[in-house]
C-alpha cells in the first residue's frame, strides 16, 4: 500500500520542490561497512515518499550508500533532491570534492551542493577570496553540475548570517530546535536574513543527535520534529538508524501539524534552564 504524500514546498527561488521532512546524512548513513542497514533506510525513505536526501563528502560512506542505489535505479534518482557538501575552503579543494562526490553518488549532478560548516571570519575570507571555494561553487552551477548553492553552519549565527547576506547562495542549513529558540541567533537573525533574500531554509540538529529527546519531560522525537516544522523553514532533516525511524519522520511530514501555543511554551519551558549547557554543537553562545 502506497503511503499518502508528504507535504511539499518550493525550494527557495528554484523551480524544485522538496518534502517537508528529509533524510539526514547522519544516523546509519554516516558509517562504514553497514551497506544492508543503510540501504534499508534509504529504501524506506523512498517508499515513504521522502524526496530530500542529505549527505556530505566527509560523512563516511553516506554518498556511496546512495550511489549504490542510484547506479541501479537512475529512474528513481531523477525524482530525488540529492544534496551534498564540501568542507574545503579553496577552489581546487572544493572542485576535487565535487568530482569525488559525483563519482561516489553515481550521478552527474547535485540538486544542492553546500559550503559545509562555516564557522569563523577566517572561513568567510578564505571561501570568498581569490582562489576560494566559492569560485568552485559558482563554476559548478554555471556548468550545470549543481542546480543550487547552499551554505551550512551551526557554530556561530553571526558568521552564518554574514554568509547568507553576502554570498550568492540559494539555501542555508541551520540548527532548528527549542535550544536555538531559547539562545537566539540562528532562528532570530540567520533565518530572517534568509527569508529577506528569498532563499530556502533547511533545518538540522532537530533532535540534537537524540540528546534533546527527554522522556522524563515528555519531550519526544515527534514533538521536536513538529517544533522544527512550526518554524519558518522549508524542510527539516533527521538522520535515521532504522526504517521505523524513517516512517516516524515521514508520518510527521504528512501531518505537518505545528505545535499549539501551549505545547510550544511547555517545550521552551523545559529547555530554558538547560539550553546553554546542552548546545553541544555551538562554538559561540
Share of the chain above pLDDT 90, in %: 95
The domain in which residue 26 lies consists of 8-278
Residue 3's pLDDT is: 72
Predicted TM-score (pTM) of this structure:
0.96
Q: Please write the tens of the pLDDT for every residue from 92-142.
A: 999 999 999 999 999 999 999 999 999 999 999 999 999 999 999 999 999
Angstrom distances, CA of residue 109 to CA of 66, 100, 144, 211, 212? 14, 12, 7, 34, 35
**Mean pLDDT rounded to a whole number for the chain:** 96
SS3 annotation, the chain: CCCCCCCEEECCCCCCEEECEEECCCHHHCCCCCHHHHHHHHHHHHHHCCCEECCCCCCCCHHHHHHHHHHHCHHHHCCCEEEEEECCCEHHHHHHHHHHHHHHHCCCCECEEEECCCCCHHHHHHHHCCCEHHHHHHHHHHCCCECCEEEECCCCHHHHHHHHHHCCCCEEEEECCHHHHHHCCHHHHHHHHHHHHCCEEEEECCCCCCCCCEHHHCECHHHHHHHHHCCCCCEEEECCCCHHHHHHHHHHHHHCCCCCHHHHHHHHHHHCCCHHHHCCCCCCC
Measure the CA–CA gap between 131 and 21, rounded to whole angstroms: 36
pLDDT tier for residue 258 given thresholds of 50, 70 and 90: confident
Q: Report which of residues 256 and 144 the model is more confident about.
A: 144
Domain CATH number, residue 264: 3.20.20.100
Domain assignment present for residue 3? The answer is: no
Domain assignment present for residue 204? The answer is: yes
Measure the CA–CA gap between 170 and 117, rounded to whole angstroms: 16
Angstrom distances, CA of residue 88 to CA of 59, 72, 131, 139? 14, 30, 12, 15
Domain assignment present for residue 68? The answer is: yes
Domain assignment present for residue 57? The answer is: yes
Number of domains in the chain: 1
Enumerate the β-bridge partners of residue 110.
146
Residue 284's pLDDT is: 85
Domain assignment present for residue 285? The answer is: no
Measure the CA–CA gap between 200 and 180, rounded to whole angstroms: 19
The pLDDT of 245-274, averaged and rounded, is 92
Rounded to 5 degrees, φ, ψ at 101 are -60, -45
Task: Check pLDDT > 60 for residue 1.
Answer: no
Q: Report which of residues 22 and 5 the model is more confident about.
A: 22
Q: Which three cell numbers stand for residue 180?
A: 536555538
pLDDT tier for residue 255 given thresholds of 50, 70 and 90: confident
The pLDDT of 44-56, averaged and rounded, is 98
pLDDT tier for residue 2 given thresholds of 50, 70 and 90: low
Domain assignment present for residue 284? The answer is: no
Domain assignment present for residue 283? The answer is: no
Amino acid at each position: 500500500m502506497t503511503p499518502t504524500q508528504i507535504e511539499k514546498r518550493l525550494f527557495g527561488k528554484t523551480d524544485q520542490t522538496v518534502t517537508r521532512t528529509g533524510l539526514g546524512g547522519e544516523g546509519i548513513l554516516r558509517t562504514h561497512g553497514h551497506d544492508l542497514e543503510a540501504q534499508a533506510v534509504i529504501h524506506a525513505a523512498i517508499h515513504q515518499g521522502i524526496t530530500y536526501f542529505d549527505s556530505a563528502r566527509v560523512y563516511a560512506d553516506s554518498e556511496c550508500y546512495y550511489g549504490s542505489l542510484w547506479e541501479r535505479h537512475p529512474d528513481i534518482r531523477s525524482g530525488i533532491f540529492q544534496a551534498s557538501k564540501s568542507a574545503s575552503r579553496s577552489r581546487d579543494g572544493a572542485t576535487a570534492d565535487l568530482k569525488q562526490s559525483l563519482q561516489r553518488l553515481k550521478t552527474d549532478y547535485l540538486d544542492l551542493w553546500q559550503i559545509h560548516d562555516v564557522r569563523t571570519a577566517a572561513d568567510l575570507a578564505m571561501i570568498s577570496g581569490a582562489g576560494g571555494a566559492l569560485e568552485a561553487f559558482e563554476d559548478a552551477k554555471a556548468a550545470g553540475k549543481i542546480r543550487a548553492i547552499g551554505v551550512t553552519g551551526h557554530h556561530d549565527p553571526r558568521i552564518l548570517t554574514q554568509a547568507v547576506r553576502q554570498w550568492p547562495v540559494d539555501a542555508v542549513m541551520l540548527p532548528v530546535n527549542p535550544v536555538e529558540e531559547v539562545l537566539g541567533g540562528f532562528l532570530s537573525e540567520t533565518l530572517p536574513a534568509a527569508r529577506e533574500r528569498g532563499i530556502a531554509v533547511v533545518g538540522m540538529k532537530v533532535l540534537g543527535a537524540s540528546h534533546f529527546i527527554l522522556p522524563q519531560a515528555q519531550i519526544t522525537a515527534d514533538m521536536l520534529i513538529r517544533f522544527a516544522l512550526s518554524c519558518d523553514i522549508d524542510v527539516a532533516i533527521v538522520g535515521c538508524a532504522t526504517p521505523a525511524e524513517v516512517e516516524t519522520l515521514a508520518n510527521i511530514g504528512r501531518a505537518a501539524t505545528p505545535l499549539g501555543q501551549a505545547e510550544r511554551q511547555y517545550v521552551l519551558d523545559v529547555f530554558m534552564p538547560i539550553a546553554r549547557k546542552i548546545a553541544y554543537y555551538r562554538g559561540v553562545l
